[in-house]
Structures are given as structure tokens and as C-alpha cells.
Structure 1
Amino acid sequence: MLTDLPDHERWNHSIAYQRELSELIPETARTALDVGCGEGLLARELVKRGLAVTALDTDAASIERARAQLSDGIDYRIADVMTEHLREHGFDVVTCVATLHHLDLDSGLRRLSELTAPGGTVLIVGLAQATWRELHWEAVAIAADVAARRRRQQWEHPSPTIWPPPHTYAQVREAATRIMPGSVYRRRALWRYTLTWTKPLDR
């Protein structure tokens, strides 16, 4: 496993979809919140796109490593998204990569919704458990993983992890439908799902 690489060479299962979702950031966006920022890979990408970024992680070591790599334009905080005081009017973009499964599902989604400005965008890459009815997805994930590893080595981040995730894919989909009406949920290979949502202007 590789742990020390320049940003453009880093790859793992979450980064594969993180980079895809970053293309959905509106050109009009000016502010961003990165929840569970780890070493700051996505936060640095958001800054390159011209956004003022607040990046949170509860792991002090991860924030220290992030600050050591680049901090211009990024407000790194050792903080819990559920309790941290943040922008009163919300952020234009809220990102959450491989972090939602560290939170209570309903409370976490509601908090992300609250922190999003009206008309703003939520971008989530998440992990969840498959049920026995979804074993075919596990076969797809294994095949995709083997193919991906033939093309490039995986970057292993040193931030804390939780495995297995406490939520099932069905639970995530149901909660997102309730809490973020109109959100787009997609089950992905590589043991991931993505969730995107634009907050209505009247919320």
C-alpha cells in the first residue's frame, strides 16, 4: 500500500468517485465544507476550483498532515460536524467522502442538509453493507477491484476507519429519500454508493 504520494497520483475506492462528483460543483459556488477531510485531498481540490473551504475532521493527526501539505484558502479544524459552529447561512457545496458511516445516519444527513445553503449542493461518497439479496453486487465489486488494481496501486490513507459500515445500502437510500427529497442515489462498484442533492431554494 502507498501512503506518501502527490495528490494527482493518489487513488483508492473513494477517490475514484470523489473526483467524478467534484465535476458536479456549480461554477457559481463560492464556499465549501468538507466533512471528514482526512489529509485534505478533496479540500485542496476545492481550493483549486476557487472555493473558500472549511475542512473538518475529528482526528487531530489527519488535520496536522493536511495542514502540512497545504493550508492556503482552507480553514482546517479539528472538530465534530455535529456540534461545530459553522456558517450561519450555510455553504454552497458540502462534501462528505467515506465519513457518513461514522455518524448516525439520519442525524448526519439532517446536519449536512442544515449546513447547505439554499440552492447549494451536497456530494457524498459513502460505504454501506450489502445484504444477502445483494450478493451479486459483491461479485461486481470484487471484479472491479481486481481490474482497478491491475491498472494502478492503491493509496492507503492513515486516517481512522470503521469496518464493516453500520448501515445497509437500503437504509441509506431510504433515509436519503426522506431527508433529502429529490436526491440522486447510485449504488456503485468498489463497495461504494454516491448521493447528490441540490437543496431547494425555499428550505
Structure 2
Amino acid sequence: MGKLNWSHNAYYQRFLIRQLPTPCTRVLDVGCGAGGFATELARRVEHVDAIDRSAVMIDAAKRAVPENVRCMLGDVLATPLAEGAYDAIVSISTLHHMPLDEVLPVLARALRPGGVIAAVALPRPDLLRELPVESVAVIGHRLLGMAFRILRTRGRGSWYAVEETHDVMPVVLDPPLTTRQVRARVAAVLPGARVRRLVFWRYSLVWRKPA
């Protein structure tokens, strides 16, 4: 199984990029890790602020990102963010580490009117309601893992390869909320937000701030 592993986080980067508003010149990447997604964002927008509370990850990100990415060591809940500063705020596999009722208002204030919050995070398993999705995920993970491995060995790109820094990433804690519970929490803070379960052990959250 190990040889068939691939990065679900990298796989969902394209989904998040499709959520970026137009125009979009300044983006905040919350929980940037080693800077892989910030680098992709920097190819599409003028400026990216990439924040992570892990010094190891920020050091790795600083070595990887282009000049239009500013790497910030800190907790987004404790770091002052200018009101309305960002066109979009994105996050991959970070929101489940934080209380949603605390972090979402912080992000919403930092977003300009018409801006977008787009995140992908891990839900707690909910087998009674999501067994079909879980079954598809297990089969799909293996099938896509084989396809991606073949493409990589033929020199046709990285195809969601696990990053070299994966082994030094902070330990992922068990997510506290199911997708259904996340949807209820988010609705109370960000009316109109869309929360849905994704196939590969993630949920998505997308919200456009009223203009």
C-alpha cells in the first residue's frame, strides 16, 4: 500500500484554485505547510501570505516559495490580520485543528466584500451516513495510486507525489467533527456557506462574503 500512497492534499489544490474570485490579487494560505500550495497560488495571483504555526514548516516553505510569497510563522488566531485585506483565504487540512466558531469569524473579517473562503479539511468518520463514500475512497485511492505511480515513473510530472517534507510534518490529530457537524457549525457562523463531503477523506467549505 505504501508505494501507492499519494497526496490527497495536492489532489484537492485544483478544486480550491477554481474557487478563487475574479479579480484576485492577494491570498492568505492558512496552514501553508512546506509551501507547495502557496507556490501554486503564486503562479496565479500577485501576492500570497502563507502562515503556519510550525517553525519547521515555515523554514521549509521559505526555501521553496517564489518572491511573491510572504511566509509568516504564527497562529492565525493570534496573528493580527487587517480587515478586508484579502481577496481569498484558502486552507488545506488545517481547519480541523481549530475551533470553527473562533477561526471562521477571524477569516471572514480579513476578507474583502465579495471575497472567498475556500478550505479542504478532514472530517471525523461517519460510517453510518457515509459508508458508500468511504468504500469508493478506498477503491479509488488504490486505483489512482497505481495510475499516478505509472505516470511518475514515466517522467510525466509529480502526479500528487507525497512531499519530501511529509515525515517532518506535525502529527495530524483525529478530527473532532463529522461533515454533518461541520455543516451545522459553519452555518451558524457563515450563512450561505457550502460544506460537502469529498471522496478522499476530506470535506470542502466554500463561502463568498456578501458584497
Which residue of structure 2 aligns with residue 76 of structure 1?
Answer: 71
Match of 1:126, as an amino acid? Answer: A
User: Comparing 157-166 with 184-193, which one deviates more in the overlay?
Assistant: 157-166
SS in 1 for 2:20: coil
Which residue of structure 2 aligns with residue 192 of structure 1?
Answer: 202
TM-score by length of 2: 0.85
The one-character-per-residue Cα deviations of 1:97-127 (angstroms, maximum 9, x if unpaired) are: 1000111122122222222111101110110
Q: 1:27, 1:127 → 2: CA distance? A: 28
Question: Unaligned regions of 5+ residues in structure 1, if any?
Answer: 3-10
Percent identical residues: 34
Q: 2:56, 2:196 → 1: CA distance? A: 32
Question: Unaligned regions of 5+ residues in structure 2, if any?
Answer: 150-160
Structure 1 contact 105–167 (Cα < 8 Å) conserved: no
Of 134, 139, 147, the residue aligned with 1:138 is 134
TM-score by length of 1: 0.88
Describe how 1:103-114 pairs up with structure 2 within 5 A. 103-114=98-109
Of 42, 63, 83, the residue aligned with 1:47 is 42
SS in 2 for 1:75: strand
Q: 1:24, 1:189 → 2: CA distance? A: 18
Q: 1:86, 1:21 → 2: CA distance? A: 21
Which residue of structure 1 aligns with residue 145 of structure 2?
Answer: 149
Q: 1:45, 1:120 → 2: CA distance? A: 19
Describe how 1:115-194 pairs up with structure 2 within 5 A. 115-134=110-129, 135-153=131-149, 154-156=161-163, 157=166, 158-194=168-204
Q: How many residues align?
A: 193
Displacement over 6 Å in runs of 4+: none
SS in 1 for 2:12: helix
User: Comparing 11-20 with 155-164, which one deviates more in the overlay?
Assistant: 155-164
The one-character-per-residue Cα deviations of 1:126-165 (angstroms, maximum 9, x if unpaired) are: 1011224133322122112112211124414232132421
Q: CA RMSD in A?
A: 1.8
1:23 aligns with 2:18: yes
Q: 1:51, 1:173 → 2: CA distance? A: 32
SS in 2 for 1:161: coil
Q: 1:147, 1:163 → 2: CA distance? A: 27
SS in 2 for 1:141: helix
Provide closer, same or farther for how the CA distance between residues 197 and 174 of structure 1 changes in structure 2, counting only shifts above 3 A. same
